[in-house]
Amino acid sequence: MTIDSDEPIHEDRLWSDGHWTARVIKNEDDDGWAVAMHLDGGSEPALVGPWTMGRDKKNPKPLDTNAFNTLVKTAREVIRRSEQQLHAQLNKNVNVTVGDKRLRIALAIVPDDEGATATLSALDEFDEELARVSVPPTFKLSIDSAQAWVASGFERPR
């Protein structure tokens, strides 16, 4: 869903600043209303939530500047949290101590439609990379697997 114009739109059920668009829609699950927030260029809404009924208890409350600004802030937060969750799923690290050295072992997975790839790396206390190897994206990073990798002299895990 995109609006072709960069001109602001301020209608009762459609509000756009050229970057974000709020559209009040009939809630298919009940007799109420919902609002869908779309980021320009996005095919799916970034946020869908319930919308307040108007005074007649049949029609939705009209959109206004304050409501739109609140919806934009909420939609941005939803996107930010989603990005943080994805980053956490794809990037893991553990700390291990070997002798008197503390190492950070990091696993970074790069998703791809053709097939994900993953890299395992060892960094010293100054974030200097000591080793890097490719691993299957299914590799499970744990303290035990990190210590075993360090003990092997950073050989590619099997």
Q: 94 and 46 in one domain?
A: no
Q: Is residue 83 part of a domain?
A: no
Residue 2's pLDDT is what? 46
Q: Is residue 81 part of a domain?
A: no
Q: 145 and 97 in one domain?
A: yes
Q: Is the pTM of this model over 0.95?
A: no
Residue 155's pLDDT is what? 95
Residue 158's pLDDT is what? 79
Q: Which residues of the chain have pLDDT under 50?
A: 1-2
In the DSSP assignment, the letter for residue 14 is: E
Q: 94 and 52 in one domain?
A: no
Contact 94, 141 (CB under 8 A): yes
Residue 42's pLDDT is what? 85
For residue 14, give its domain range: 9-63
Residue 69's pLDDT is what? 97
Q: 96 and 58 in one domain?
A: no
Contact 107, 89 (CB under 8 A): no
Q: How many domains does the chain have?
A: 2
Residue 5's pLDDT is what? 59
